[in-house]
């Protein structure tokens, strides 16, 4: 209230609104912050575009999300985190070729990035290439046998193919190899629709 044109405070309040789930107020603040932030402050403008993209994602507005992510990428073209967000947004929007391009860019820079391998598996599964999809998540499990998330990821690919038994086995593995909180939650979630399979 004392400094209505303080773009740093506006951006901070936008973040707080976002985490509170008040996307309308968050969007109003980040829009105003973007109007006031100098073009020379590219780091802050990058963060502002990323936040606005996340607001759009929460609203399932993938067109606006992608537009802001591309604006952020122009400011920091080497940001793999931004490339990852673009790939995932394209995947959700059904832009499989663009999603594949993004995940492959990440894998060229980080050949053992299991999250990008999972992204590639989702792309292949969406194309109907179940075997290719499994190859990506199998590779991730082979490389990171003590990482719970790779089992959670492969369980998701199994579940999408209707192979609940294998999904349950992977989630149990995810619970056993480390901090398996995510795997346990996914197992509970799976029991909502496949109770008998999970209990067996």
- Angle of the 7-19 helix axis to the 42-58 helix axis, nearest 10: 30
**pLDDT at residue 67 is higher than 80:** yes
Tokens of 158: 């199994």
- The percent of residues above 70 in pLDDT, for the chain, comes to 100
pLDDT value of position 197: 84
Average pLDDT score over residue span 36-56: 97
pLDDT value of position 58: 96
Tokens of 116: 């990008």
Q: Are 98 and 89 in contact (CB under 8 A)?
A: no
Against a cut of 0.85, is the pTM above it? yes
């Amino acid at each position: 209230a004392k400094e209505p044109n303080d773009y740093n405070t506006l951006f901070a309040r936008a973040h707080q609104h976002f985490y509170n789930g008040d996307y309308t107020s968050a969007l109003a603040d980040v829009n105003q912050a973007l109007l006031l932030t100098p073009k020379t402050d590219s780091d802050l403008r990058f963060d502002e575009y990323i936040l606005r993209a996340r607001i759009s994602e929460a609203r399932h507005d993938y067109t606006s999300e992608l537009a802001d992510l591309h604006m952020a990428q122009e400011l920091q073209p080497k940001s793999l985190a931004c490339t990852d967000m673009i790939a995932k947004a394209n995947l959700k929007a059904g832009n499989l070729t663009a999603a594949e391009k993004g995940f492959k860019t990440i894998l060229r820079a980080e050949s053992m990035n299991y999250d990008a391998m999972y992204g590639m598996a989702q792309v292949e599964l969406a194309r109907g290439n179940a075997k290719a999809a499994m190859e990506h998540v199998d590779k991730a499990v082979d490389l990171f046998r003590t990482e719970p998330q790779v089992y959670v990821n492969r369980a998701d690919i199994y579940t999408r193919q209707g192979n609940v038994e294998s999904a349950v086995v992977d989630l149990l593995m995810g619970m056993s190899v480390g901090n398996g909180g995510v795997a346990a939650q996914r197992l509970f979630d799976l029991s909502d629709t496949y109770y008998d399979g999970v209990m067996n």
